[in-house]
Amino acid sequence: MFRTIIARGSRQVLLALALVLPTTALATGYETTNPVVSKFYGSKSCPDLAPGTTGFRISPVAVGVSHHHDGTLSVTLDHYKSGYDWLVDWTKNQPPQCSVHAVIVGGSSKGNLYSYDPPLNGDAGLHVPSYDNTCAKVEYVEFCYTCEVVTPGGCTLGYWKNHLASWPASYAPSDALSSIFATDWNDSLLTALKFPGGPGVDGGKRILFRQAVAALLNAAHAGVGFPLSETQVIDGVNAALATGNRATMIAYADLLDQANNTGCPLN
């Protein structure tokens, strides 16, 4: 069920948005640009592999898919056996302003088994076997990461209507709503920002879409510390649309409106 929650203040807005967002499964992934895999024994830590990084150590590592959060970095691990070896795949989920620079994988019997050296902003690990085919289960994984300091905030739909040059490269004013959201409306994103609202379900959709586009641009812009990711904005909007209920759509639009009015850090 899509819950209707109206809250005030940035912390309450973030909490309310989290509560109304649909739950989606997190999936593991593989690095397509092939990070360097260094195999070694020893006890090297994050500063040894990536100076100036924060270390997020996960131990023990459960077999199967597990989700972890240290208060800043959110990751998903998949620890499984393939053939003779135990493998670990990983995916960084949040936040977008944090970059993983190295990942140490190890077991207590031999210390560090191997490490990933992902490219800058790398989000996923390449699966590799335990060192020397030991068939040892991985007992710890340590993420070495840094985070760019981004001022929390959100820019209004009025800002995005009048500052086309500030739009993130991943979206263009001419992109159709139907290419992003679960709708057959082919109006452009810029047109949606100018929607007048109106009565009935269609009026509710227009009210939702104009705030949704602004929220999407906020989430996609590296210089805006928006409380939602692009995927969360899209999933939340689609969940509201799926209800076919005007009140639900407007309630979620109001939440996005509050997040879009938390202060624009852009010129």
For residues 138 and 167, membership in a common domain is answered with no
Tell me whether residue 97 is in a domain. Answer: yes
Does the predicted TM-score (pTM) go above 0.85? no
Q: What value does the mean pLDDT of the chain take?
A: 78
- The average pLDDT across 109-131 equals 49
Q: What are φ and ψ of residue 211, in 5° steps?
A: -75, -35
For residues 157 and 142, membership in a common domain is answered with no
Name the pLDDT band for 100 (thresholds 50, 70, 90). confident
60-81: b (≥16 Cβ within 10 Å) or e: ebeeebeebeeeebbbbbbbee
Domain count, the chain: 2
In this predicted structure, what is the pLDDT of residue 18?
A: 38
Nearest to 37 by CA among 111, 100, 113, 144: 113
For residues 127 and 100, membership in a common domain is answered with yes
For residues 119 and 184, membership in a common domain is answered with no
Nearest to 22 by CA among 221, 184, 239, 190: 239
**How many whole angstroms separate alpha carbon 96 and alpha carbon 147?**
9
- The average pLDDT across 153-181 equals 97
In this predicted structure, what is the pLDDT of residue 118?
A: 53
For residues 156 and 191, membership in a common domain is answered with yes
Residue 149 has pLDDT above 50, yes or no: yes
Residue 61 has pLDDT above 80, yes or no: yes
- The average pLDDT across 187-192 equals 98
In this predicted structure, what is the pLDDT of residue 56?
A: 94
* Encoded tokens for 213: 């586009």
Looking at 2-6, 14-18, 67-71, 90-94, which range is the least confident one? 2-6
Domain that includes residue 216, residue range:
10-25+151-259
